[in-house]
Amino acid sequence: MRAKYHKHTTVLEAEVGYRPSFIWRSLLSAQDFLNRGLRWRIGNGDSVSIWGDRWVPAAPEGFIVSAPCGLPADAKVRELINPDTRQWDTTLLAACLDKEMEEAVHSIPLRDTTEQDIQIWASSRNGEFVVKDAYRCWVEQENKDHGRTVPDAAPVWKKIWKLNVPPKVRHFLWRFAKDSLPTGVKVSAHNPRWSDRCPFCDQVETQAHTFGDCEWGRRIWRPSPTSVCFEKKVGEDCLAWLEAVIDEVELNLLESWSVLLYYIWKERNAHLFNGFKMNELEIATSAAKLLADYQLRQEKELNLQMETPRKVWTAPPTGRIKINSDAGILPESRCCSKGLSWPIPLCSG
């Protein structure tokens, strides 16, 4: 299977590939769940990307949720470790991360920086993967993702997790609602060398400014069908803004708006950190394409699962045992289930 589907990557990074078998697709359906449950335990920090890997236990889904700052976007965690003291470089942490992330990293104990980094199962005490524990996590995650339980979850969270948009957009929207995006105001509060000004118009940069008031942003969303969502902004409270949109607009418009918000932020970062500037029409078009491509892939995946032919079970020859494999499809999540079962039927004869 490795030779056919993931010769040059680990199974956690593998892609579905050309003409995947049913078993391979079933196994890959567990990939996202496994990736979400694994965390890097830091040793020397050589293998772990600061902004690209899951390694901060106190951060949402283990990721650093502030934009790359002070170090290259692909910098490794070893850059944050003082080679002399073998402890976190507190000056660098303060320069590269917002206050919340700085504290989250600082609370991670550094054990032995001469050892390799390893991946552990986050929810078990000793870091080992145990099927029983993984199943419990999976059930909790499914409930959370689909808003079935979680008694204190506000409707806004349930709606976010139900959106048929790429997971990175859902994650972005969650940060938007929490007002935790590293805007000029947020970063400059912890780093005096950082400007609190918008990179496009030199006004004070808050989330409400970037996505609602900034003339650069307005040129992107004004011609869009989602402009009605942008116009619902009142004041600086992004959660209230999101709640107003969720309550009053249709789901497909909400999904388009979410992706356009994500793209505005993405292009703002590309301009700020790389000096790159797309024109407004390209940004709106790219956002629409991202959503259309994602939803088409989801639909194809669902159809593939539905079209898998059912075989009629037949009894094995006398003296032999037949092992059946099985996987299911969850209509709410529109993906196949994350496990296989192996019942052994008793056959007469």
Least CB distance to Zn ion at residue 201 (A): 3
Nearer residue to Zn ion within complex by CB, 106 or 218: 218
Nearer residue to Zn ion within complex by CB, 171 or 277: 277
Residues 211-250 that bind Zn ion (CB under 5 A): 214
Least CB distance to Zn ion at residue 215 (A): 6
Task: Give yes or no for a contact between 107 and 94, defined as CB atoms under 8 angstroms apart.
Answer: no
SS3 of 204, please? strand
The number of beta carbons lying within 10 Å of the beta carbon of residue 168 is 12
DSSP string, 260-300: HHHHHHHHHHHHHHH-----HHHHHHHHHHHHHHHHHHHHH
Least CB distance to Zn ion at residue 236 (A): 14
Residues 52-111 that bind Zn ion (CB under 5 A): none
Residues 158-217 that bind Zn ion (CB under 5 A): 198, 200-201, 214
Least CB distance to Zn ion at residue 219 (A): 11
State how far the Cα of 299 lies from the Cα of 233, in Å rounded to an integer. Answer: 32
Least CB distance to Zn ion at residue 183 (A): 10
How remote is the C-alpha of 153 from its chain's centroid?
A: 19
Nearer residue to Zn ion within complex by CB, 67 or 214: 214
SS3 of 331, please? coil
> Does the protein bind Zn ion through residue 265 (CB under 5 A)?
no
Q: How many residues does the chain have?
A: 349
State how far the Cα of 248 lies from the Cα of 194, in Å rounded to an integer. Answer: 37
Residues in contact with Zn ion, total (CB under 5 A)?
4
* Residue spans of alpha helices (H) in the chain: 2-5, 22-28, 31-37, 90-96, 99-106, 131-145, 155-162, 167-177, 184-190, 207-208, 215-221, 227-230, 238-248, 251-274, 280-307
Least CB distance to Zn ion at residue 230 (A): 14
Least CB distance to Zn ion at residue 199 (A): 8
Residues 283-312 that bind Zn ion (CB under 5 A): none
Nearer residue to Zn ion within complex by CB, 102 or 205: 205
State how far the Cα of 48 lies from the Cα of 119, in Å rounded to an integer. Answer: 10
Nearer residue to Zn ion within complex by CB, 14 or 214: 214
State how far the Cα of 30 lies from the Cα of 281, in Å rounded to an integer. Answer: 37
Nearer residue to Zn ion within complex by CB, 51 or 263: 263
Nearer residue to Zn ion within complex by CB, 62 or 199: 199
CA distances to 12, 40, 77, 112, 162 from 92, in Å: 31, 20, 11, 20, 38
Nearer residue to Zn ion within complex by CB, 183 or 256: 183
Least CB distance to Zn ion at residue 141 (A): 38
- Which residues of the chain form contacts with Zn ion (CB under 5 A)? 198, 200-201, 214
